Structure formats: structure tokens, C-alpha cells
Amino acid sequence: MEKIKTGIIGCGKVAHLHALALKNLSESLFTAVWDIDRARAKAFAEQYGVKVCSNIEEMGSNAGVEAVMICVPHPLHAETANKAIQAGMHVLVEKPLAPSLEDCDAMIELAEKKGVALGTVCQRRFYPPSLRVKHAINEGKIGKPIIGTVNMLGWRDKTYYQSDPWRGSWMGEGGGVLVNQATHQLDLLQWFMGPIDELFGYWSNLNHSYIEVEDTAVAVIKFKNGGVGNIIVSNSQNPPLFGKVHVHGDNGASVGVQTDSGAMFIAGMSEITEPPVNDLWTVKGEENFLEKWKQEDTVFFSKVNPMNYFHERQIEDFLRAIIKGMKSLIDGKEGRKTVEIFTAIYRSNRDRMPVKFPLQPENKADFDGRLK
């Protein structure tokens, strides 16, 4: 098996999930790390038995790193990734790809120019229930997907926002529930339903007065295939309830995945406590499969470490795509689609009108409608 020399940039909480995957995967030779905090980088490197580099460029030139995982705060994704790309390294970025379309486009353009792979982390695509939904749609089991819905009702408390200095601010995080928590469900919605034609949305901060960013957002969508959809996402429900993505077809059948339930996990702070499951399935002849799949997925969940396993599957896909010279499941252009959705909601709320797709970057001082 060909191995790729891998590294990590940013040694915070989520970086440990990447490190465990890079140590475990047969395609990876985990080699080096870098962090702006030298002491943190040194402790991280000692824990995993890798080299500490003095800067990003040194990772490629001296340590020979070929592919890096970007685990820095969201607003630093583009600057950090572009340095790694410029140094000739393949780059997998923690979600979202970047807070702005301008940054996304710069990353995608540079990666294409340098001939390296760019991807973003959306590990919930690798959940078995999510894959079942995608396969059912691809196989025509629900006909044409005509209604798609996202309902993510979670909770983040003051302790969460105080756990890192960048959380809860526009400049430090780039946004709230749309940018940080709901990106997974937004990614699944567009993956299942296809390209968006138009969106109208609102966002608000309903019960988190100690942060700048939104804790709640809603939107209505018209898809290019003629279908419609809606989005309801919130960090204002205590206790947290669930994250669900449902798709309804023109033959009357419906499929869905509950990606999250109960306490929402926080990388480095808490664990995934309940398995993702298919919570809706009315495909003709398969109506009775739901309980069987729930049992299978629950057993599977108990046999793996879900905090690590699905990150590992995505990193595996990314590295194998590099080795084979293929496109990974979630490349930079796929990652941009989620950024396009939440940007449309911010702009729609600002302008009080629908937003047509595709969106282009704006050089406005209001950060695409985030700053009122």
C-alpha cells in the first residue's frame, strides 16, 4: 500500500481526531505538525510521536509532508490552507471550507493552479444511514426528490462558548449555528436534493445574549429540479433534541436520516452518545426495513469509536483519492456549496428578499449580511 506523508496544522481539540486517524490508516505516514502555539504543538507532537515544524513551509520542504489536515479556527482556514497549497501540499480542511465565498474561491483556484487536492470535512456523509438515503435517491426508489427538509434543534451553553476565545464572535468564528453546527445537515440536504435555484431566509439570536453570532436560522428553498425545501436550525433548544434530514419523492415515498440526537457532541469536549439512524423510510416493499436497520446501526455504533471512526473514513477517502489520482467525495467545490447556502441566508436576511443561485463573492463591509 502506497503511503502519503501526512501532517496537521492547528493542534486544538478536533486535531486529536485527525491524529488518531492518521496514525491508524494504512495510507498515512503521520509525520509532522505545526501550531502558532509552539508549546501546544510540542506537547501534541510528543503525544503522537511526530516532528514539530517551525512553520507551514517547513512541513513540506524539510519534513516532506505531502498532505495536511487544517484544524485552525474558521476565519484562518483560507490563509492557512493557501500557505500549505502554495508549498505543494494536498489539503483537507475542517468544516466549513471557509466562512466566505471569496476565501473558498481563492482556495479552489490556487489548488487547481498548483495541481493539488483540496477537500473539506463532512464526515456525516459516511454514516451508513446517510449512505442509504443517497443510494435510495440514486436508484430512483423515491422517484424525483421534490421536498427536502433540515431540522436541527440543538443547544450550546455558555461553557461551550467560553471553551475557546474565538467562539461566538463574527471575526473569530465567522458565524454561529449556520457556520459551525448546521454545516453537516446543510451539506447532506444539497447532496440529496441537488443544486439550489433560490433561497429566502432569516437568522436571529434568540437566547444567547453573551455571543455576537446567530443561534437560530430558517430558510425556504427552491431547487433547480423543481423541488422545494426548508431549513430550521437552532442552538436555542435545551435540552437538545435532534438533527434530521428528510427527502420526499414524487412517487410518494420518503427517506430520512437522524444524524444527531440527544446531547450534541463537541470535539474534544464530549462524546457521541446515540447512533445515527434512518428515522423515516416508506419506500414500497422496504417499509419494514427500518427497525432492522436501526438495530444493525446501533450494534455497529457500539463496536466502533464514533468520534474517530467517521473522521477516519473521510480522511481515508481523501488519501486514497490522492493515491489513485481521483476526486475525493467532498472536494473543495463540494465544500463551497455549504458556504453558499449559509451565505445566501445571511444575505437574504439583510436584503429581505430571495437570493438567486449561484452566488458570487461580495466585497462588502457587512460580511455578507452578518454585521447589522
Q: What is the pLDDT of residues 36-61, one digit of tens each?
A: 999 999 999 999 999 999 999 999 99
pLDDT band of residue 372 (cuts 50, 70, 90) is confident
Residue 268: pLDDT above 70?
Answer: no
| Contact predicate 180/154, CB 8 Å | no
Residue 222: pLDDT above 80?
Answer: yes
Can you tell me the distance from the alpha carbon of 42 to that of 183, in angstroms, rounded to the nearest whole number?
31
Residue 272: pLDDT above 90?
Answer: no
pLDDT of 338: 98
- DSSP secondary structure code for residue 95 in this structure: S
92/287: higher pLDDT: 92
pLDDT band of residue 307 (cuts 50, 70, 90) is confident
Cis ω for the linkage preceding 128 (within 30 of 0): no
pLDDT of 237: 95
Strand partners, 5: 29
Angle at 231 between CA 225 and CA 233, to 5 degrees: 155
pLDDT of 209: 96
Strands (E), 154-297: 196-204, 216-223, 228-234, 242-249, 254-261, 277-281
pLDDT of 270: 54
- Which set of grid coordinates corresponds to residue 114? 498548483
From-to residues of CATH 3.30.360.10 in the chain: 125-303
Strand partners, 280: 256
Inter-helix orientation angle 77-86/101-114, to 10°: 10
Tell me the per-residue pLDDT of 181-210, one tens digit each, with 9 for 90 and over. Answer: 999 999 999 999 999 999 999 999 999 999
CA distances from residue 123 to 59, 72, 126, 174 in whole angstroms, order as listed? 26, 17, 6, 21
18-22, 134-138, 328-332, 366-370: the lowest-pLDDT one: 366-370
Query: Mapping DSSP to helix (H, G, I), strand (E, B) and coil, where does residue 158 land?
Result: helix
Report the mean per-residue pLDDT for the chain: 95
* CATH 3.30.360.10 is held by the domain 125-303: yes
| Contact predicate 285/182, CB 8 Å | no
Residue 130 CA to chain centroid, in angstroms? 14
- CATH classification for the domain delimited by 4-123+326-330, as one of 3.40.50.1370, 3.40.50.720, 2.130.10.10, 3.90.930.12: 3.40.50.720
Can you tell me the distance from the alpha carbon of 140 to that of 286, in angstroms, rounded to the nearest whole number?
14
* Half-sphere exposure (Cβ direction) of 280: Cα atoms closer than 13 Å: 18
CA distances from residue 271 to 139, 178, 228, 275 in whole angstroms, order as listed? 34, 21, 34, 11
pLDDT band of residue 68 (cuts 50, 70, 90) is very high
In this structure, are strands 90-93 and 118-120 parallel, antiparallel, or unpaired? parallel
259/264: higher pLDDT: 259
- DSSP secondary structure code for residue 76 in this structure: G
Residue 78 exposed, middle or buried by CB count within 10 Å (0-12, 13-18, 19+): buried
pLDDT band of residue 266 (cuts 50, 70, 90) is low
pLDDT band of residue 317 (cuts 50, 70, 90) is very high
pLDDT band of residue 127 (cuts 50, 70, 90) is very high
User: Mean per-residue pLDDT for 155-177?
Assistant: 93
Handedness of CA 123, 116, 339, 341 (dihedral sign): negative
Residue 267: pLDDT above 70?
Answer: no
User: Mean per-residue pLDDT for 356-363?
Assistant: 95
H or E element in which residue 24 lies: helix 15-24
Give which of 366, 360, 323, 281 is closest to 104, Cα–Cα.
Answer: 360
From-to residues of CATH 3.40.50.720 in the chain: 4-123+326-330
- DSSP secondary structure code for residue 164 in this structure: S
pLDDT of 264: 59
Can you tell me the distance from the alpha carbon of 7 to that of 19, in angstroms, rounded to the nearest whole number?
8
H or E element in which residue 28 lies: strand 28-34
Can you tell me the distance from the alpha carbon of 282 to that of 149, in angstroms, rounded to the nearest whole number?
16
pLDDT of 137: 98
- DSSP secondary structure code for residue 155 in this structure: B
- Residue 361 makes CB contacts below 8 A (sequence gap 6+) with 100, 101, 102, 105
pLDDT of 273: 76
- Which set of grid coordinates corresponds to residue 229? 425545501
% of the chain surpassing 90 pLDDT: 93
pLDDT band of residue 271 (cuts 50, 70, 90) is low
